Structure 1
Amino acid sequence: MLATADLHIHSPYSIAVSRFMQPEELIRGCITKGIQVLGTGDALQPDWLAGWKPLLENDAGIIIVPQAEIEDRNRVHHVILAAEPAQFDQLRDLLTGTSKSFVSSGRPHVYLGGEEIAGLAHDVGALVGPAHAFTPWTAMYAYFDSVPACYGSESIDFVELGLSADSSYGAAIPDLYDLPFLTNSDAHSPTPDKLGREFNRLRLAGRTAKDVLAAIRTRDVAMNAGFFPEEGKYNRTACTRCYTQYSLEDAIGHHWKCPADGGIIKKGVSDRAKELSKGGTAKPRPPYLHVLPLAQIIQTVEGAASPNTKKCRAIYSSFISAFGNEISILIDIPPAEIRTIHPRVADAISALRENRVTLHPGGGGKYGTFSLT
């Protein structure tokens, strides 16, 4: 069966996460969004993991996958996925003495490198891969030029692309040829513009977390979906103070210091991906569907300051009442049917499906924007 999966979120035990990120609220959010598989987030935090255990089997039929993000001694972030909560209890025991933050932090920092973390994850039967691999902070390619440089002799099981990259960014990097790409939300809020803002379509043999891990192992990813990379706040090489964008050659010529205001120029994900590809051949990948959250589309066509205004929420609710869930509206429901609820939203969704989008890339820490044609 095909299942829509978001396999990386967080809990209120992590920094800058909504207090409404609670298991029951997340399950309700999955129903509204159209997600059938959800990572728990922060499974190394024992209280958070315990809170999920009564809901591993739930009336909504959402498959819950124990999942955590961990920061290593080099500031690289890793995503870990397991079939059973007990595997995270075992992993926490193996990591004893390497961290002071398992209880205080949902995303703990450990005094180990990527090779050691991946080895311990594999020791308990879990899967591991770099989180938001292309992001210029706290990511594998921020600090290393290859998978072995980060993980040594230990293998990894997947690569999470992150919001500033799509499949095309990694398709020509030889290190990644045999690894599946995952696209997840990294959500800090259960609102529909955050939860499932990026997702995967997986081919599953059954309806358990074990089946989800098996699909990743065998690269049974039917589709990735997520933002246009240009929307990411580090997509282009740019000054982190004034956001002026530069070509890679100009940034190097300026010694990574903005001539306008002296700010640091940060290398963009687009330039970094090209650099890592080294002119290699792009290997075929599953389809990558560029999507925007329905709430963001409504906000844009209504010219609202926020997707959470009363009017935007009312329009969103009318869509869910009519069609059941958001992802179906974004990719499956015919535009003619969408028009019965809101003609301009229907036109916007048609423009997205037909790639009639003008992108204004982000960089230096400022998100990109888009307009629909």
Structure 2
Amino acid sequence: MRFHADLHVHSKHARACSKDSDLAHLTWWARRKGITLMGTGDFTHPVWFAELRENLVPAEPGLFRLRDDLDRDICRTLPPRLASGEVRFMLSVEVSTVYARGGRTRKIHHLLYAPDFDVAEELNRRLAQAGDLTEDGRPTLRMDARDLLETTLDSGDGAYLVPAHVWTPWFGVLGSKAGFDTIEECYGDLSDRLFALETGLSSDPAMNWKVSGLDRYRMVSYSDAHSPPMLGRETTVFDTDLDYFAVLRALRTGEGHAGSVEFFPEEGKYHVDGHRKCGVRMEPRETREHGGICPVCRRRLTIGVLSRVEELADRPDGARPDGAAGFHSAVPLPEIVGEILGVGPKSKKVVAEVDRLTAALGPELTILEDLPPDEIAAHSPPLAEAVARLRRCEVIREPGYDGVFGTIRLFRRGEPGPVSKGSPPTLF
């Protein structure tokens, strides 16, 4: 069975996340997007953990589904083409470890997974000794990353850890601010118990393939959604049984790991270097020429993912390890429709048009990946042209920097969809 998985999400109990991030809304949006397997997010939070126990019921091995009565209520609000999709949940959480190592403060984010509530409960019990789990759905733990990995593995069979958005400057294991130069340096003698890395929005597998030390890891991509409409902006594709342990085997062995759907990495908010306050954005070469200093305020630039990858790379662009799963890049459907209509992706006009398109054509990922352009054109000729260009990777890229999302456009001036609004950053 081939399906999309989004295993990095957050609940309403995580800081700076939507109050709509509950199981009902997550299920509704998963169907709308075409996602079969979802992470629950935030299972360390005691209130959310209780909600998960109350509202999820066992499905396939290690997976859960929404209670029948709740699911029926959701299906009644969806068009028939969307209501038929099945949605399963896997117990997941993102945690932050903060500790000192090598004379530096390390702030590293990790994704943890558990196959059942008993294992998750045991993991919560152990983690509560290192931080306040009630404070945030994404808890901060005073423990070394290596010790977190050991704690996860010791909590029960099937529990595993994936380093989160590994290149992000502030919280990635390989990030420029608090990270390490190798995975082994961070996780020490237990690093051989890791088998997957999350690329994050600002990098894609091709960038990671330039670092030979990462060859043995499966590259996974998830949305890190802070609100339900952001689900599926990145997904990992599996061709396995719908089963926690089948997914785990695919990540360990590569068999059944079918690749990923990625943001264009330029759209991620830490792709290139820059200084948001000064509106300065730089490519790695320009950063080196300026000695890593902002030419406006003379403070240090935030060094983004592209520079950090180049720093650690030992291969040229285009290198690909044997057996590495493929990927393709996409733009979320509301962004495409917003460009066509000349309004923001969250505007009422865009919401209404995406509602119309998904009711007629099916889930968003199906529209972007699978439908013939002629079938899309019967409902929206500009969208058909946009999707055709997207599949050919014919896009216009303005890279993100220092916490500012980048922009990916599919039309030039004079074509459907105006140039994005707002002042561009200063280029050097």
Return the alpha-carbon distance in structure 2 between the equivalents of residues 105 and 246 of structure 1: 34
Q: More displaced, 119-128 or 363-372?
A: 363-372
Return the alpha-carbon distance in structure 2 between the equivalents of residues 19 and 269 of structure 1: 30
1:83 aligns with 115
The reply on whether 1:140 has 2:173 as its aligned counterpart is yes
1:198 aligns with 234
Return the alpha-carbon distance in structure 2 between the equivalents of residues 213 and 50 of structure 1: 25
Structure 1 counterpart of 2:334, which letter? A
Q: Are the equivalent residues in 1 in contact too, given 2:199–2:205 (CA < 8 A)?
A: yes
The Cα shift of 1:127 comes to: 1.3
Q: Are the equivalent residues in 2 in contact too, given 1:184–1:199 (CA < 8 A)?
A: yes
Match of residue 87, structure 2, among 62, 65, 87: 62
1:327 aligns with 365
Q: Report the 3-state secondary structure (helix = DSSP H, G, I; strand = E; otherwise coil) of the residue aligned with 1:265.
A: coil
The Cα shift of 1:250 comes to: 4.6
Describe the shift of the 1:225–1:26 C-alpha distance in structure 2 as closer, same or farther (beyond 3 A): same
The reply on whether 1:292 has 2:331 as its aligned counterpart is yes
Q: Are the equivalent residues in 2 in contact too, given 1:228–1:291 (CA < 8 A)?
A: yes
Structure 2 counterpart of 1:293, which letter? P
2:218 aligns with 180
1:211 aligns with 246
Describe the shift of the 1:103–1:227 C-alpha distance in structure 2 as closer, same or farther (beyond 3 A): same
1:237 aligns with 273
Q: Report the 3-state secondary structure (helix = DSSP H, G, I; strand = E; otherwise coil) of the residue aligned with 2:140.
A: coil
Q: More displaced, 276-285 or 217-226?
A: 276-285
Q: Are the equivalent residues in 2 in contact too, given 1:241–1:263 (CA < 8 A)?
A: no
1:360 aligns with 398
Return the alpha-carbon distance in structure 2 between the equivalents of residues 84 and 218 of structure 1: 22
2:37 aligns with 37
Match of residue 96, structure 2, among 47, 58, 71: 71
1:103 aligns with 134
The Cα shift of 1:61 comes to: 3.2
Normalized per residue, the structure richer in strand is: 2
Q: More displaced, 208-217 or 168-177?
A: 208-217
The Cα shift of 1:287 comes to: 1.7
Matches within 5 A, 1:246-325: 246-248=282-284, 250-252=286-288, 254-279=290-315, 282-284=320-322, 285-304=324-343, 306-325=344-363
Return the alpha-carbon distance in structure 1 between the equivalents of residues 270 and 231 of structure 2: 21
Task: Describe the superposition over 1:309-328 as per-residue Cα deviations: whole angstroms up to 9, x where unpaired.
Answer: 22211210111111221110
Return the alpha-carbon distance in structure 1 between the equivalents of residues 335 and 284 of structure 2: 31
Q: Report the 3-state secondary structure (helix = DSSP H, G, I; strand = E; otherwise coil) of the residue aligned with 1:162.
A: coil
Q: Report the 3-state secondary structure (helix = DSSP H, G, I; strand = E; otherwise coil) of the residue aligned with 1:245.
A: strand
The Cα shift of 1:254 comes to: 3.7
The Cα shift of 1:38 comes to: 0.2
Structure 2 counterpart of 1:27, which letter? T
The Cα shift of 1:340 comes to: 1.2
Q: Report the 3-state secondary structure (helix = DSSP H, G, I; strand = E; otherwise coil) of the residue aligned with 1:80.
A: strand
Structure 1 counterpart of 2:296, which letter? A
The Cα shift of 1:186 comes to: 0.3
Matches within 5 A, 1:143-154: 143-154=179-190
Return the alpha-carbon distance in structure 2 between the equivalents of residues 249 and 287 of structure 1: 28
Instruction: Give the number of aligned pairs.
Output: 368
Q: Are the equivalent residues in 2 in contact too, given 1:268–1:364 (CA < 8 A)?
A: yes
Structure 2 alignment gaps of length 5 or more: 57-63, 69-84, 99-105, 412-428
Task: Describe the superposition over 1:83-110 as per-residue Cα deviations: whole angstroms up to 9, x where unpaired.
Answer: 11221211111223211x2012101111
Q: Report the 3-state secondary structure (helix = DSSP H, G, I; strand = E; otherwise coil) of the residue aligned with 2:222.
A: coil
Return the alpha-carbon distance in structure 2 between the equivalents of residues 371 and 249 of structure 1: 24
2:8 aligns with 8
Return the alpha-carbon distance in structure 2 between the equivalents of residues 86 and 212 of structure 1: 20
Q: Are the equivalent residues in 1 in contact too, given 2:264–2:408 (CA < 8 A)?
A: no
Match of residue 161, structure 2, among 128, 141, 154: 128
Describe the shift of the 1:57–1:247 C-alpha distance in structure 2 as closer, same or farther (beyond 3 A): closer
Describe the shift of the 1:187–1:247 C-alpha distance in structure 2 as closer, same or farther (beyond 3 A): closer
TM-score, normalised to structure 2, is 0.82
Matches within 5 A, 1:162-173: 162-173=200-211
Structure 2 counterpart of 1:132, which letter? H
Q: Report the 3-state secondary structure (helix = DSSP H, G, I; strand = E; otherwise coil) of the residue aligned with 1:90.
A: helix
Q: Report the 3-state secondary structure (helix = DSSP H, G, I; strand = E; otherwise coil) of the residue aligned with 2:207.
A: helix
Q: Report the 3-state secondary structure (helix = DSSP H, G, I; strand = E; otherwise coil) of the residue aligned with 1:4.
A: strand
1:93 aligns with 125
Q: More displaced, 210-219 or 268-277?
A: 210-219
Q: Are the equivalent residues in 2 in contact too, given 1:82–1:213 (CA < 8 A)?
A: no
Return the alpha-carbon distance in structure 2 between the equivalents of residues 39 and 335 of structure 1: 32
Identity of aligned residues (%): 31
